Amino acid sequence: MECQLTITRTEQKKEKPASDKLGFGVHFTDHMFTMDYTEGKGWHDPQIVPYSPLTLDPAAMVFHYGQAVFEGLKAYRNQEGKVRLFRPDQNFKRMNRSLERMSMPLIDEEFMVEALKQLVAVDKDWIPTESGQSLYIRPFVIATEPCFGVRASYTYKLVIVLSPVGAYYAGGMQPVKIYVENNYVRAVRGGTGNAKVAGNYAGGLKAQVEAKEKGYEQVLWLDGVENKYIEEVGSMNVFFKVKGEVWTPALNGSILEGITRDSTIQLLKDWGIPVVEKRISMEDLHTAYVNGDLEEAFGTGTAAVISPVGDLNWNGHQMIINGEKTGELTTKLYEEMTGIQYGERVDKFGWSVEV
């Protein structure tokens, strides 16, 4: 990336939300990063500008054919005011995999990490410091060319916005209730399931609405071919502790390759806890439950961090896990992961990046 990043600071700073009223992704900071792409010219005009609405042609292709890719990561500020990002290189790597899948132009990953550091530094006063709070970072790319022809757009916009957040789930670290979806399908092999694209989430909303009506917060997706094997939850990857061993669905092309998932696997291995990445059928999981072998279940994700799962409903079989209490391993992982993210624990993997 040859062009210079320009920074224009706002004259009108917004009022920051009270720390007990953050919620998730509803407040936005004073600035944002934008960069444009034009076929033949490449990515150009990277800039940090005051946060503002985007002006797009109503015929912009993102509105019609859905070329939209996004990422999610966080910045953490500790009590001394040090600001850290967690594995940001991995997010821009994954963004490139998603862009490639959607026939969208690739980005310069190193430049993006540097640009993000500058954006976070400009808005660092927005990063909350209380336990469990952070600055959620949402980079996204959309197709902007006005055209109704079904083909890849010739122009794009990359934007990064920032949002001070608390816990993703309203109940904080309380175990979540999950409904195993049997009717709708999230992804099939060869589709876009392992890419972080907007359409994957839109297609999952109906199941989520129906699960909510039944009293469940999230949906657990099964494979799209046999409707048997566990894939992921709407907003996180899943893990199960069964007789001292930790199981998680093996990446198969239709599961999102979570960065927190990968970090969790590395931590568990480092602790000498056996982790098995494999095809896990609901039937096997239910058998483990009935036999009293299903000790803990938890989800992993940037937004979800490490979230305990307390109740899993599969075809009317209700599985109450660990008495709907957060398990010991789940707690240990949460503490280690957030300890590294906030710079409070030794980061032997070199995941934490100072801003």
- Residue ranges in contact with ligand COI by CB under 6 A: 72, 201, 235, 301-304
**Residue among 234 and 327 whose Cβ is closer to ligand COI:** 234
**Distance of closest approach, residue 98 Cβ to ligand COI, in angstroms:** 11
Using the minimum distance from each CB to ligand COI, give the nearer residue, 235 or 330. 235
Sign for the CA dihedral angle at 108, 110, 113, 119 comes to: negative
Phi, psi of 335 (to 5 degrees): -65, -40
State the nearest-atom distance from the C-beta of 302 to ligand COI, in Å.
3
Angle separating helix axes 88-101 and 259-270, nearest 10 degrees: 130
Residue 211 or 303: which CB sits closer to ligand COI?
Answer: 303
Residue, CB closest to ligand COI: 72
Q: Which helix (H) or strand (E) holds 308?
A: strand 305-314
Gap between the Cα atoms of 290 and 271, Å rounded: 28
CB of 168 to ligand COI, least distance (A): 6
Phi, psi of 32, deg, nearest 5: -145, 165
Residues 6+ apart with CB under 8 A from 47: 5, 6, 7, 8, 33, 34, 35
Which tokens is 174 given? 């309380």
Nearer to ligand COI, 70 or 154 (CB): 70
Strand partners, 74: 136
- Least Å distance, CB 138 to ligand COI, is 8
| Cα–Cα distance, 239 to 327 (Å, whole number) | 12
Q: What is the nearest approach in angstroms of ligand COI to the Cβ of residue 148?
A: 29
Instruction: Specify the residue, 67 or 91, whose C-beta has the smaller distance to ligand COI.
Output: 91
